[in-house]
Amino acid sequence: MLYFVGTPIGNLKDISLRALEVLKSVDEIACEDTRHSLGLLNAYEIKKPLFSYHKFNEKECSEKIIEKLKDGKNIAVISDAGMPVISDPGNVLAQMLIENGLEFTVIPGACAFVSALVLGGLDSSKFCFLGFMPEKQSERKEFLQRYKDLDLTLIFYCAPHDIKRDIESVYSVFGQRRAVAVKEITKLYERAEQFNLEDGIKSEPKGEYVLLVEGAKIENENLKLSEKEHIELYIAQGLDKKDALKKVAKERGVSKSSLYKYTI
C-alpha cells in the first residue's frame, strides 16, 4: 500500500493521529527534502528509512516506488509541508499507480490554500486554485487571461521574492480588485493582509504566500434594457405581470411599486 500523507504547513502540532500512525508503520518514507522532513519525524520519534522524491526526479523515483510496492513494501509519501500532489510532487506517481493497478490512499492533513481561504474573508462559496504562476512574463499573461472573467475567488501560491511581481501581473490583466495576501499560516507571525491590486502589499515580503483575488463581477445584461423592456422580457418568457415585476425589482435593486408605472 502507498499512502499520500498530509503534514503540517507550519505548526508541528497540526498533524493527525492517523498520519503519525501510518508514518510509524510503513517500511519507508519518500520525502521532498529528507533533511527538512527529519525535523518533523524526529519531533515524533519516528525512525524510518528515507529517500528523496522531488520534482527533479519524480518520474524516475515513481518507477522505483512502483517496484518497492510490487515487492510488498508499504510506502508513505510526504512533501515539505501540506498535501503531496497539491503544487508538490505526487501527481505523476498517482497516475502510474492507477496504470499499474496498485492500491493507494490519502491521509488528509493541512493544506495552505484552504486555510488561506478561511483567513482571507473573500467569497468561499466557489473558488479556483491555480497554484504557482508561470515564470515567463508572456506565459504568465496568457495564463491569467484564461481566468480573468471567472466570477469566483482565485487562489495562487507565491514565493516571497515573487509576491510583488505576481500582484503586478494580476493587476495588469484583471484591473482593480480586492485581494488578500496570507502568509506564515499557523506560525507565530501569521497574517492576512487586505489590499487593492492597484496598491499592492505594504508589508515586507517574508515567508510563503497564498494570494487570494476577488472574482470578476458579472454584469447582468438585462440591466442594459429600459425598465419597460426588462418587464416585457419576462412576460414574453411566460411570467405573469406580478412575478415579472418581482423579478425585475430584485435584479434592479428597486421596489416593485416603483415599477408599476411601466406596466400601465
The tens digit of pLDDT for each residue in 227-259 reads 888 988 888 898 888 888 888 888 787 888 888
More confident residue, 226 or 9: 9
Q: In sequence order, what DSSP letters do the residues of 166-214 get, joined into one string?
A: HHHHHHHHH-S-EEEEEESTTSTT-EEEEEETTT---SPP-S-EEEEEP
The set of residues, in sequence order, having a beta carbon less than 8 Å from that of 230 and lying 6+ positions away, is: 222, 223, 248, 251, 252
CATH number for position 64: 3.40.1010.10
- Domain boundary pick from 110, 144, 177: 110
Q: Determine contact, residues 2/103, Cβ cutoff 8 Å.
A: yes
Residue pLDDT, tens place only, 172-201: 999 999 999 999 999 999 999 999 999 999
Residues 206, 194 share a domain: yes
Q: Supply the pLDDT for residue 144.
A: 96
Averaged over 103-124, what is the pLDDT?
A: 97
Query: CA–CA separation, 237 vs 182, rounded Å?
Result: 46
Indicate if 81 and 12 belong to the same structural domain.
yes
- The mean pLDDT of the chain is 94
| Per-residue cell: 243 | 412575478
Would you say 235 and 241 are in contact if contact means Cβ atoms under 8 Å apart?
A: yes
Task: Assess whether 187 and 259 both reside in one domain.
Answer: no
74 exposed, middle or buried (CB, 10 Å; 0-12, 13-18, 19+)?
middle
Per-residue pLDDT tens for 133-179?
999 998 999 999 999 989 999 999 999 999 999 999 999 999 999 99
Q: How many CA atoms lie within 13 A of 170 on its CB side?
A: 32
128 has which bridge partners? Answer: 154
Does 205 share its domain with 125? yes
pLDDT over 80 at 4, yes or no: yes
Q: Structural domain tally of the chain?
A: 3
Q: Are residues 70 and 102 in the same domain?
A: yes
Structural domain span for residue 79: 2-110
pLDDT band at 36 (very low <50, low <70, confident <90, very high): very high
Residues 104 and 117 in one domain: no
In this structure, are 151 and 167 located in the same domain? yes
* Cross-strand partners of 195: 179
Residue 182 CB: number of other CB atoms within 10 A?
A: 24
Same domain? 23 vs 88: yes
Tell me, what amino acid is at 155?
A: I
Q: What is the pLDDT of residue 211?
A: 98
Same-domain status, 105 and 19: yes
Virtual torsion, Cα 72, 73, 74, 80, nearest 10 deg: -150
Residue carrying C-alpha cell 490512499:
105
Give me the residue label for grid cell 493587476.
171
What's the pLDDT score for residue 183? 97
User: Cβ(2)–Cβ(104) under 8 Å?
Assistant: yes
* 16 & 78 share domain: yes
What is the predicted pLDDT for the residue at 254? Answer: 84
Binned at pLDDT 50, 70 and 90, residue 107 comes out as: very high
The whole-number average pLDDT for the span 110-122 is 97
Q: Give the whole-angstrom CA distance, residue 155 versus residue 157.
A: 7
Query: What mean pLDDT do residues 7-34 have?
Result: 97
Task: Give residue 69's pLDDT band: very low, low, confident or very high (50, 70, 90).
Answer: very high
Per-residue pLDDT tens digits for 76-89: 999 999 999 999 99
Helical spans, DSSP H, in the chain: 17-25, 34-43, 58-70, 91-99, 112-120, 137-145, 163-174, 227-236, 241-252
Exposure string for 245-263, b = 16+ CB within 10 A, e = fewer: bebbbeebeeeeeebeeee
Cut 0.75: pTM above it: yes
C-alpha cell, 16 = 493527525
